[in-house]
Amino acid sequence: MLRDGATSVPALSADLPISRQAVAKHLATLEDAGLLERLPGGGREVRYGLRGDALAPATAWLREAEASWDGRLTRLKGAVESRPAGSRGQRAAASDRSSARRPSG
């Protein structure tokens, strides 16, 4: 569909199970969001192309979020691994005590 870097409503609607009007609305929404741009060309057919830099802000935000979570998870791992081997926490110990009181069977 975008093999040559551009597409049009008729080209997309030929390959998709939705109407030309629906395709046009979706392309207009993507254009409004800054992900697509109308390309100059002759004739009545409007061609659309992807904006190469359109996802850069989202990509930067995802990288920052990833780094932040990596730091948090590393600190959590360190805290869990630094606990003494026999210490499973009060909740686990209480659970063990209550199940030890129950008769098996």
Task: Indicate if 12 and 46 belong to the same structural domain.
Answer: yes
Task: Indicate if 18 and 43 belong to the same structural domain.
Answer: yes
Task: Indicate if 16 and 46 belong to the same structural domain.
Answer: yes
Distance CA 6, CA 20 (A): 17
Report if pTM > 0.85: no
Distance CA 3, CA 49 (A): 10
Task: Indicate if 46 and 11 belong to the same structural domain.
Answer: yes
User: What total number of domains does the chain contain?
Assistant: 2
Provide the residue range defining the domain that includes 35. Answer: 7-50
Distance CA 89, CA 98 (A): 15
62-81 pLDDT, tens digit per residue, is: 999 999 999 999 999 999 99
Give DSSP secondary structure letters for 37-92. Answer: EEEP-SSSPPEEEE-TTTTHHHHHHHHHHHHHHHHHHHHHHHHHHTS-TT---HHH
Which tokens go with 95?
Answer: 């659970």
72 part of a folded domain: yes
14-55 pLDDT, tens digit per residue, is: 888 989 999 999 999 999 999 999 888 767 888 889 888 888
Provide the CATH number for the domain around residue 18: 1.10.10.10
